[in-house]
Homo-oligomer: A and B are copies of this chain.
């Protein structure tokens, strides 16, 4: 077949002509090792798939302790504790930042951009907190930064929103984007565990880190939501402008109650554009209808539902973390970074693409609610709480006080109210008044009831 031979000939010629791109790898932990493994296993396949144009060779690796014994396949001289030795090495053409944190990582990323070396990172905290500065440098030096691994692990949601849905006005994105908390909520639901036990189990299985703070307090997911919202709407969003509530206060009774009503409890990122183009970005434990596709996202899996004005509803589902899925995203970005070098660094625009946008203040966001109060069990409690809600014109669709089977005469009980749709600010005002009642012993716990 002469045609095919010609194809092969040209491909081979390219393989010979092109040199591999030198990579400087900052951080050689779980994901870094995953990247090295993936390149080793599938490097030849990647080269074939890219018409022989893309191969990679690791030139320097930044580590904390260069003397630590490592796999023999990497020459000892690759390793250094000097970050400048990695970023500034003239053989390093692409910098991969996987050390996490926002200080040293910031130094590495910004120095790479100054040197016009494309950056690949999975660091959501860095981009959510210092994205404005970093993207400005990316623009200034006409050098791209890729961060598929920063959101939802192996799910290509960044590329999808940035490229595949570029022709869509994004009306909403709703996501389960923290696998650790999703696993904990699922175990609380299916095994009736309390939060602490489910967290302990997740830690034992390696699904939660020794310090799980950012996972369970919602901030890991919030950083990702900020990135997604910036992609869709194009303006930088300050972390302090985003309302974030974690799952630490979720009790088995909440999950049980949700079930009875036909819901499951999920830590949900909600990003939504209002009619006036203001954008709602929030992260809270939420009741999701059990019939919605997000309700079946179990364990450490992630999913993001997107509604675009052209594409309609779409959902992306996969592993949101872990060595190999995250490495899959990093390697895809490496190929894009390599292409950007071959293409004389012309790339598809920068983030943010506009300076300012409007966020919807959390007080103005509206849903229905499930609120749990810790009250002293005496006559009149329901009446007092209901009266305050009535004063604020907040409708009640149900109330319930489950009897504790282990202590039916308990003096302190949990009392649950289901409330009609109203602005969150109004609810907060009412809850502050209710907190002042002498029968109420602690800050009420609020769940959103989402209409997806």
Contact = CB atoms under 8 A, between A and B. Distances in A.
Nearest to A318: B314
Given A6-B140, A293-B317, A49 B329 contact: no
A132 interface: yes
Interface stretch (A81-89, A335-343, A386-394, A438-446): A335-343
A165 B332 contact: yes
A355 B4 contact: yes
Nearest to A330: B167
B48 A354 contact: yes
A350 interface: yes
A445 to B, nearest CB: 31
Which of A5, A41, A328: most chain B CB closer than 10 A? A328
Nearest to A51: B349
B314 A317 contact: yes
Interface string A52-69: 111000000000000000
Interface residues of A, number: 82
A390 to B, nearest CB: 41
Interface in A324-366: 324-325, 327-329, 331-332, 334-336, 339, 342-344, 346-350, 352-356
A435 to B, nearest CB: 39
A196 B315 CA distance: 31
Interface stretch (A101-109, A204-212, A305-313, A425-433): A305-313
B169 A42 contact: yes
Nearest to A350: B51
A10 interface: yes
Contacts of A311: 154, 318-319, 324-325, 328-329
A350 B48 CA distance: 10
Given A308-B328, A312-B319, A343-B343, A3 B169 contact: no
Contact of A355 (B7, B310, B324): B7
For the complex of A and B, the 10 pairs showing the least CB-CB separation, nearest first, are A51-B349, A167-B331, A156-B164, A314-B318, A154-B311, A343-B343, A310-B328, A4-B355, A311-B328, A315-B317
Interface of A: 1, 3-8, 10-11, 34, 38-39, 41-42, 45-46, 48-54, 132-133, 136, 139-140, 148, 154-156, 159-160, 162-169, 234, 293, 296, 308-319, 322, 324-325, 327-329, 331-332, 334-336, 339, 342-344, 346-350, 352-356
9 contacts: A1-B355, A51-B350, A159-B159, A310-B327, A311-B329, A313-B318, A315-B315, A317-B317, A343-B344
Given A4-B356, A8-B355, 19 more contacts: A4-B136, A7-B350, A10-B139, A39-B167, A156-B163, A159-B164, A166-B332, A167-B327, A167-B331, A168-B328, A311-B319, A311-B325, A313-B319, A314-B318, A314-B319, A316-B317, A317-B317, A343-B343, A343-B346
